Amino acid sequence: MQLNTGVENMGRIAVTDGMDEKTIAFLESAGHELELRHHTFEEILDGSLAIFDAVVIRSATKLCAELISASVTKDGGIRFIGRAGVGVDNIDIDAATEHGIVVCNTPGSSTRSVVEMTIGHLLSSTHNISSADRSLRRGEWAKKDLKGSEIGGKRLGLIGFGRIAREVARIATEFGMEIHVYDPYVTEAPGSIQMHDEIDGIFQKCTHISIHCNLTEETRHLVNSKRISMMPGIGLDGSNCGNHIVSCARGGIVDEDAAAHALESGALRTLALDVFENEPYDGSLIDHEGFHGSPHISASTIEAQSRIGLEMASLLVEFFETGVTSTSINNIQ
Amino acid sequence: MQLNTGVENMGRIAVTDGMDEKTIAFLESAGHELELRHHTFEEILDGSLAIFDAVVIRSATKLCAELISASVTKDGGIRFIGRAGVGVDNIDIDAATEHGIVVCNTPGSSTRSVVEMTIGHLLSSTHNISSADRSLRRGEWAKKDLKGSEIGGKRLGLIGFGRIAREVARIATEFGMEIHVYDPYVTEAPGSIQMHDEIDGIFQKCTHISIHCNLTEETRHLVNSKRISMMPGIGLDGSNCGNHIVSCARGGIVDEDAAAHALESGALRTLALDVFENEPYDGSLIDHEGFHGSPHISASTIEAQSRIGLEMASLLVEFFETGVTSTSINNIQ
C-alpha cells in the first residue's frame, strides 16, 4: 500500500545542465526520479525528453519550438520546463504555452551574485586589477603603466532597470556615482536617479555604462560603434577617465566587433564582459589589454547555486503536488 | 625691483619619486625651482639633498636618520619633507623633528582610490575575476571550475580603523557584510560595527579580513600562520566560502611565506595583495591560483594623483610663505 501513497506526486525529471548537490539529494529523498545528463539537439529531436515529466535546464540547453514539440506525446511528455537561473531566451515560451507546458525560472536567486560581479568587474577594469595581476605573473612590476581611475564622481548609465540594476544603482551611489537609467518599461526611479527617454542620452552623458536588459531583437547589438562614439570620455568630475562598459546580462547585446574596434581606437578604455554572443568564447577581444572577461560565471557562486537549486526544487514539488505553480513565466494555471 | 618681490617665499624643491604634471606646472609658475630626479642612498649620504630647501618623496625614497642628517648643514639644507601619499614609515620622523624639519603627508587625497581598490580586490578574488580573465586569455572556457562566493552575508574583519577602513566598512555594509573591527586606538565605532579588544577575535570570527593599519614593529607579520589557522572558513550565512584576506595597506604586515603555505593548504582560499614586503615583488605567491596581486597601485589613479599633487603644492606654498604648515606629522610650528 505504501507504493500508492502520494505516488502521483512524484515525477521523472531530466536535469540537462547540472544541479546543486543539495537539491539533487532533496528531490531524490522526496521520491522524484532524476536523470542528470546533457541531451544533444539530435537526441531531443528524436524524443529523448518525451519520457520525462519535467526538464530542468540552465543556459546550455536550447529548447526551440521544434524540440519542445518533440518532447511531448499525445498522452504524456514534459509538462514543466524549469530554467535554473534567470534568462529564458533559450526557451520558446510561446511553443511551451501552446503545449500547455509550465515554464518557471528562479529570478531572485542570483541577484546578489550578479550585482557583486557587476561592481567587481567595474572596479577591476577601471583600477586595472586583472591586468595588474597578469603583469605580476609575467614577472613585471608595471606600477607606472597601470594608472587607473576612480568610479566615484562619475556617471553610471544603466540600460535596463530591473532587480539587478536597482541593486547596482544603490551600491554605485554609495561609491559616489551619479546614476542614469534607460528602461522603456520603467517610468519612475527612486531618489536622485535620472531617467532618460532616449537610450542615446545614456551614451552621451555617461563615461561608465552597465547592461541589465534582456536579449531581444530590439536589444541585439544595442551597444554599437555609433553609440560608443557618443560617450564623453571625460568624467562628471572633470577627470580624463575614458569610457568603460560592463555587461553581466546576455551575450549579443554588445556588438563585440564594434567593442574591439573601440578598444583599439581608445573610444573605450575598458570593456568587461561576463557574457558573449557565442559561448564558449574564442574571439579576438582577448588581444586587448583593456578587455576583462569571465566565462559566464556571474551566478556561479556557492550561495546563488544553492538558492537557485532550492527555489527550483520547491517549484517542482509544488508542480507535482498541485499540477501548477504559484509563479510561472507563461502564467499557466 | 621685481626680483625681490616675494623672492624669500620661493624654494628649491627636490622631487625624487615623480609628481603629477599639473602640480609641477603650478609650483613652477609660482616661482619655485624644481628638480625631478631620483637620488640614490649614496648620493643623499654625500649630501645631494642639502642644496635644497625641501624634498618631496613617495615610497621609493627612504629617509633614515643618517640620510636626514646628511641633508642638513649648519646654516641650511632641507627644512621640509613632503610625503606625496599617506604612509610615512620610510621617513625617520624623530630624526626630522630633531633637525627642526617639518614632515607633511597628504592623508586624505588617496582615500577614495584605496577604498575602491580594496573592495575591488575583495570582489575580484572572491568571484575569481582575475583568474577568469587569465583562463579566457589561455583560450579556456573554465566556467565549471570558477565557482566563487558572495561577500554579502559574511563577516568582514578590519585590522585598523582609520579613514580608509571606515569607508570600506560603510560600503561593505551596503553589500550585506557584518563588520568587525580591531584597532587599539579606537574605542567606539558607528552603527552595527562590532569592536574587538583582541586581534585574535577578528581571525576567529571572520572569513574575510582586510588590513588597514600602519607598518610598525608591532604590526609586522601580524597576519601569520597561527592567526590564519583560526579563521572559520564557513561564512556567517553558513556557506562554505573559505577564508579571504586583502591588503592595500603596507607590505610586511602579512607574512608572505605563511600566506603562501595557507593558500597551498587551503586555509586561505584567496589572498589579494597590493603591497609587498620587498618591492618590486618577485616571490612565489604568483604560483598560487588563489593569489591576486597588483604592484602597489591602489593610489595610482588619475584622480588621487591629481589631489595628492594639489594638496602637496598647497602645503609647499604655505610653508615657503609662513615657514610652517597648518598640519604636519611632527607638529612643528
Distance CA A83, CA A85 (A): 6
Please tell me which residue in A8, A198, A279, A321 is annotated as part of the active site.
A279
In a domain, A333, yes or no: no
**pLDDT over threshold 60, residue A5:** no
Rounded-to-10 torsion of CA B196, B198, B200, B205:
-20
C-beta atoms of B128 and A295 within 8 A: no
Q: Are A165 and A193 in contact (CB under 8 A)?
A: no
Within a domain: B332: no
CA distances from A291 to A172, A256, B171, B230 (A): 21, 11, 26, 38
User: Is B60 among the domain residues?
Assistant: yes
What is the predicted pLDDT for the residue at A1? 28
Provide the pLDDT for residue A2: 33
Q: Grid coordinates representing A79?
A: 509538462
Least confident of A262-271, B2-11, B137-146: B2-11
Regarding whether B78 and B54 lie in a shared domain, the answer is yes
Instruction: Kindly state whether residues B275 and B313 are assigned to the same domain.
Output: no
Residue A6 has pLDDT above 50, yes or no: no
Closest residue, chain A, to B143 (C-alpha): A295
Q: How far apart are the C-alpha atoms of A95 and A79, rounded to whole Å? A: 12
Q: Does the structure show a pLDDT above 70 at B8?
A: no
Residues B267 and B159 reside in one and the same domain: yes
A207-223 average pLDDT score: 96
**Which residues in chain A are contacts of B239 at CB distance < 8 A?**
302-303, 306
Euclidean distance between CA atoms B190 and A315, whole angstroms: 42
Handedness of CA A34, A40, A43, A45 (dihedral sign): positive
From the list A17, A62, A87, A81, the residue with the least C-alpha distance to A253 is A87
Angstroms from B231 CA to nearest CA on chain A? 19
Looking at the fold, whether B162 and B267 belong to one and the same domain comes out as yes
The DSSP H or E segment spanning A103 is strand A102-105
What pLDDT score does A333 carry?
A: 66
> Is A279 annotated as catalytic?
yes
Q: What confidence tens digit (pLDDT) does each residue in A44-80 have?
A: 999 999 999 999 999 899 999 999 999 999 989 999 9
Domain range enclosing B37:
2-109+302-322
With a CB cutoff of 8 Å and minimum separation 6, the contacts of A234 are: A207, A240, A241
**Number of domains composing chain A:** 2
Whether residue A206 is contained in a domain is answered as yes
Q: Which three cell numbers stand for residue B113?
A: 582610490
Sign of the C-alpha dihedral computed for residues A148, A150, A154 and A155 taken in this order: positive
Regarding whether A143 and A77 lie in a shared domain, the answer is no
Residue B159 pairs with which residues in a beta bridge?
Answer: B182, B211
What average pLDDT does range B175-191 have in this prediction?
Answer: 94
What is the per-residue pLDDT across A167-204, written as a single tens digit (0 to 9) for each?
999 999 999 999 999 999 998 888 899 999 999 999 99
pTM for the predicted model, two decimal places: 0.90
Question: Which pLDDT score is estimated for B333?
Answer: 66
- Checking if the pLDDT of A118 tops 90, the result is yes
Whether B268 is covered by a domain: the verdict is yes
The SS3 call for residue B282 is coil
For residue B187, the model assigns a pLDDT of 86
ipTM for the complex shown: 0.90
CATH number at residue B72: 3.40.50.720
Of the candidates A132, A292, A297, which has its C-beta nearest B293's C-beta?
Answer: A132
Q: Which residues contact B38 (CB under 8 A, 6 or more apart)?
A: B16, B17, B60, B61
Question: Cα dist. B249→A130, A283, A300, B246, B259 in Å?
Answer: 19, 38, 30, 9, 16
Please, is A75 exposed, middle or buried when counting C-beta atoms within 10 Å of its C-beta (0-12, 13-18, 19+)?
exposed
Judge: A127–B297 Cβ closer than 8 Å, yes or no.
yes
Residues in A closer than 8 angstroms to B304, CB to CB, are 150
Query: Do A201 and A76 share a structural domain?
Result: no
The answer to whether residues A232 and A316 belong to one domain is no
Asked if residue A94 and residue A239 are part of one domain, the reply reads no
Q: What average pLDDT does the segment A102-107 reach? A: 95
**A121, A123, A239: residue with CB nearest B119:** A123
**Which single residue is written with the C-alpha cell 625641501?**
B54
The answer to whether residue A332 is domain-embedded is no
* pLDDT band per the 50, 70, 90 thresholds, residue A90: very high
What is the model's pLDDT at position A316?
Answer: 95
In terms of CA atoms, which chain B residue is nearest residue A307?
B239
Mutate to test the interface with A, among B302, B307, B308 (most CBs of A within 10 A): B302
CB atoms within 10 A of CB A23: 23
Confirm whether B328 is domain-assigned. Answer: no
Answer yes or no: do B125 and B31 share one domain: no
Same domain (yes/no): A61, A121: no
- The alpha carbon of B204 is separated from its chain's Cα centroid by a whole number of angstroms, namely 26
With CA atoms as reference, report the closest residue to B27 among B299, B322, B318, B302.
B318
pLDDT value of residue A20: 86
Say yes or no: B77 and B144 in one domain. no
pLDDT beyond 80 at B1: no
